[in-house]
């Protein structure tokens, strides 16, 4: 597994990209990410989802979010938390 990276470093390294985090640390009160292990990142969401899927098998929790640097107009951000399901 990779190393933990804080959210400030993630935002600086991957502007305007989709980021897949393994074992995300979340501030439950303010509902914000504090950091995690960057598993995969790309400007293409589908690429992150398809190529990142086999990489998250060993994580208890994962999160996918878009690191928006340029301003949004009349849009909202969607953050998804994933919990692996074993069938």
pLDDT attached to residue 31: 86
Query: Considering the entire predicted model, what is its pTM?
Result: 0.75
Per-residue pLDDT of the chain (87 residues; tens, 9 = 90+): 678 899 999 999 999 999 999 999 998 888 888 999 999 999 999 999 999 999 998 899 999 999 987 765 555 555 556 665 544
Instruction: Identify which of 56, 17, 15 has the alpha carbon closest to the alpha carbon of residue 39.
Output: 56
pLDDT attached to residue 87: 40
pLDDT attached to residue 84: 59
d(CA 34, CA 1): 18
């Amino acid at each position: 597994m990779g190393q933990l990276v804080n959210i400030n470093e993630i935002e600086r390294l991957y502007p305007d990209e989709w980021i897949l985090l393994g074992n995300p640390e979340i501030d439950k009160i303010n509902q914000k990410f504090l950091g995690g292990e960057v598993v995969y990142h790309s400007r293409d969401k589908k690429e992150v989802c398809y190529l990142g899927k086999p990489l998250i098998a060993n994580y208890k929790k994962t999160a996918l979010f878009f690191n928006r640097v340029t301003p949004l107009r009349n849009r909202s951000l969607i953050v998804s938390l994933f919990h692996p399901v074993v069938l």
